[in-house]
Amino acid sequence: MQPFDLVIRGGTVATASDVMACDVGIRGGRIVALGEGLEGGARDIDAKGKLVLPGGVDTHCHIEQLSGFGLMNSDTFESATRAAAFGGTTTVIPFAAQHGGMDLKTVVADYHVLAEKGALIDYAFHMIIADPHEATIAAIPDLVAAGHGSIKVFMTYDKMRLHDEQLLDVLMAARQSGAMVCVHAENHGIITWMVNRLIERGYTAPKYHAVSHARLSEAEAFTRLIAFSELIDQPVMIFHVSTAEGVEVIRQARGRGVKVWGETCPQYLFFTADTLDKPGFDGGKWCFSPPARSVADQEALWHGLANGDLQTVSSDHAPYRFDETGKFFFSKEPNFKQIPNGVGGLQWRLPLLFNEMVSNRRMDVNAFVRLTATDAAKLYNLAPRKGSIAIGADADIAVWDPERQVTLSDDLGRDETGYNAYAGITVKGWPETVILRGDVIVENDHLKAKPGSGRFLPRGGGQAAKPTGRLAPEMDPARNFGAELY
């Protein structure tokens, strides 16, 4: 019998900390050997001249999900995870999204059915809570125990947002269950007030989307959220950080020991608000929230990633077609507020980041692996099974050709978005062969996996979601007048 099912031979393996010339031996879907001159496998992949990296872990993507606007996005689990696989990603965390009046357990069960049928790569879920009434809060412990170790809430969007008291309720429930809380943090009042004034005065073009999401709305919401997080002593992950001021708020909080984590996305690293300023409605392709900002903000985000203020880069894949099923669903001639928010990115996240971080040498290959796979897996308690190349880990691997140049285009997209917001950008470095649990799922630009072959990854909140143990005086049961923490 061959000692290995698969050997990836002669490549350069990189993890978040090391770069080593070695073969990777895979058996039973797991990495079982790293070494020079491993014996033959039932199959060998020649990786000479290639980089052998962990498959990407994309921890924020909207798949087959009703948005805050009440519109289904353009991808199914099959099409979204197909695109992810072609882009070198092997694990996703999409959402099970509760809307007003919905029973949370039913919501989660429904999303499981969709994913079981369609997913081509492995997945977990964040539970979106938009209606935290008593029954919802009561359902949280069972759902976390069943492997849904993170919750997402919104501080804006009319139909999804939580008021401060509701947010505190969710933070407390998460603390009691050991779950991470991820937050879309923008000040709803500022945005609504700006939107109304702009539209009343006839400023309706897509470019006013960026004006309406005044950058201060981010720093304000972060500051308020962090105060809540400190009061309850519940760690939070702030999604899609877009401004320099936002990074600064996170940096200061982390500096005084608050357990706050930060994520940004390619759209904030590679676009500015100018992308919205196009003839007619074309800018609607770049209508996502928060909006892209300025070159100075991009630099602040890169700096935040380099020094650890921000720990991960996800896609926030939220695709809507540029037609009447998507961006024009609510109006043929929409004002900026009627354009569904979101952009596709599951397939492009890794090539864009590889190009900038590794090929253009902004950081290095270890940082690329850390920010796109290893720390993403650790933050959401998927490690050590996911996110690294290590003995015992799932054999989720992308073999990259660091020399291959590709100009991104609409046609390359394997999802159902129909356009590519990054079209025209040339990247150097491409994930050529993608492997999930030892099975080759993408090879020679062909898909080899079948819908439904992805597996659910049950997980609790893990280390990143653990409270610090430092109680705000008013929450300390020994000193307060009856407020209970547990």
Cβ proximity to Zn ion, 241 vs 393, nearer residue = 241
DSSP state of 270: H
By CB under 6 A, is residue 318 in contact with ligand URP?
yes
Applying CB under 6 A, which of residues 74, 212, 289, 388 lies at the interface with ligand URP?
289
Closer CB to ligand URP, residue 77 or residue 288?
288
Number of residues that bind ligand URP (CB under 6 A): 9
d(CA 417, CA 427): 20
Contacts of 30 (CB under 8 A, 6+ apart): 392, 393, 394, 395, 437, 438
As measured in angstroms, the least distance from the Cβ of 148 to ligand URP is 18
Nearer to ligand URP by C-beta: 97 or 369?
Answer: 97
Residue 327 binds to ligand URP (criterion: CB under 6 A): no
Rg (CA), the chain: 22
Burial bucket for residue 356 (CB in 10 Å: 0-12, 13-18, 19+): buried
Identified binder of ligand URP from the candidate list 316, 375, 394, 396, rule CB under 6 A: 316
State the nearest-atom distance from the C-beta of 275 to ligand URP, in Å: 13
**β-strand partners of 92:** 58, 123
Asked if 76 interacts with ligand URP (CB under 6 A), we say: no
- Contact pattern for ligand URP over residues 336 through 355, marking x by CB under 6 A: -----xx-------------
Q: Which of 30, 126, 148, 184 binds ligand URP (CB under 6 A)?
A: 184
Strands (E) in 30-124, as ranges, are: 30-35, 41-46, 51-54, 56-58, 89-92, 95-97, 122-123
Phi, psi of 176 (to 5 degrees): -70, -25
- Per CB under 6 A, does 212 bind ligand URP? no
Show the beta-strand stretches assigned E in 77-221. 89-92, 95-97, 122-123, 126-128, 150-154, 180-184
Query: Under the criterion CB under 6 A, does residue 30 sit at the interface with ligand URP?
Result: no
Torsion angle, CA of 333/335/338/342, rounded to 10 degrees? 100
Query: Is 375 near ligand URP (CB under 6 A)?
Result: no
User: Which does residue 342 touch among Zn ion, ligand URP, none (CB within 5 to 8 A, set by kind)?
Assistant: ligand URP
Residue nearest to Zn ion (CB): 184
Q: Least distance in Å: CB of 344 to Zn ion?
A: 12
Binding site for ligand URP (CB under 6 A): 62, 67, 184, 288-289, 316, 318, 341-342
